[in-house]
């Protein structure tokens, strides 16, 4: 009887652990699969929150294709000469009940910061929802895991 109970408990715990999605599964490199501008991010965890470093964007280079454009639309004048490549522009996402909420997405193309929520649809598909004001009026971008 003890063996049956123990086996049942193990089965229950493994089903529960597979049903839950650990917060850290968002960590890694992601590439957009829709939208006008193609993007690549490296998402990482710091102090219990999730951040994203912009690795590449289809509109981030000057006409020579090598020189990173400057962050010239940044409202902080001291940051306007920094290159767009490598900036941390996803900030403060917090994991709560299967979703990532309360983050910000800085767009160097227009200098605006948008509220950001994210959700892992599968282990290799991530949806970002950026918006000003209410989420209903925002835009969703889809990403696939590349690493």
Residue extents of the structural domains in the chain:
23-145
pLDDT at residue number 16:
42
> Would you mind telling me the total number of residues written for the chain in this entry?
147
Query: Over the stretch 105-127, which tens digit does the pLDDT of each residue have?
Result: 999 999 999 999 999 999 999 99
| Average pLDDT rounded to a whole number, residues 55-75 | 94
Task: Please say whether the beta carbons of 120 and 25 come within 8 A.
Answer: yes
Class of domain 23-145: mainly beta
**Predicted TM-score of the model (pTM):** 0.81
pLDDT at residue number 128:
94
For all residues of the chain together, what is the average pLDDT? 88
Answer positive or negative: Cα dihedral of 87, 90, 92, 97: negative
Q: How far apart are CA 132 and CA 116, in angstroms?
A: 9
């Amino acid at each position: 009887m003890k063996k049956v109970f123990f086996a049942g408990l193990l089965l229950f715990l493994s089903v529960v652990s597979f049903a839950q999605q650990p917060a850290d599964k968002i960590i890694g490199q992601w590439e957009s699969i829709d939208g006008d501008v193609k993007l690549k991010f490296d998402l990482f965890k710091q102090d219990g929150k999730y951040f994203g470093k912009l690795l590449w964007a289809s509109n981030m280079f000057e006409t020579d294709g090598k020189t990173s454009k400057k962050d010239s639309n940044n409202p902080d004048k001291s940051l306007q000469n920094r290159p767009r490549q490598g900036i941390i522009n996803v900030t403060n996402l917090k994991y709560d009940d299967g979703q990532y909420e309360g983050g910000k997405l800085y767009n160097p193309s227009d200098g605006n910061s948008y509220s950001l929520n994210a959700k892992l649809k599968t282990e290799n598909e991530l949806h970002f929802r950026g918006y000003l004001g209410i989420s209903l009026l925002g835009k969703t971008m889809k990403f696939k895991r590349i690493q």
